[in-house]
Amino acid sequence: MRSIRVETSGATVLLTEAPEPKVRDRQTGEIAKDAQSGETLMRLGVVYIDGGESSLLQVTVPEGGVTEGLALGSSVTLFGLIARPWETVFNGQQRHGIAFRADAIAPAAMPVGAGA
């Protein structure tokens, strides 16, 4: 399926769940790795606010893209955010959704004059 780039420049994004390793297999506890680089994948939660609407998103980010200084409830920037529709059959039932992945996450820069 096709990936869709998500424009974040006009949105407010707040960190709601701290980054933690993404589990690939819940039964074995296997941690998910990037297929290309082998890097550990991290899972985190954000609230994405744009145009008067908000959505809770689970986002996957490579471990090297998680910047220090992230604080729960703080404004963050997601770099290279994409949405990828998916569907699968699990226990005989069709399931579908949208997976979100970003290249990196960092504390949002304060606008000039915001601290004054």
pLDDT tens for residues 43-61?
999 999 999 999 999 999 9
Domains parsed from the chain with CATH numbers: 4-107 (2.40.50.390)
Both structure tokens of 36: 């290309």
Kindly give the parts of the chain with pLDDT less than 50: 112, 116
Map residue 64 onto helix, strand or coil. helix
pTM assigned to the model: 0.85
Query: Residue 43 and residue 3: Cα distance in Å, rounded?
Result: 18
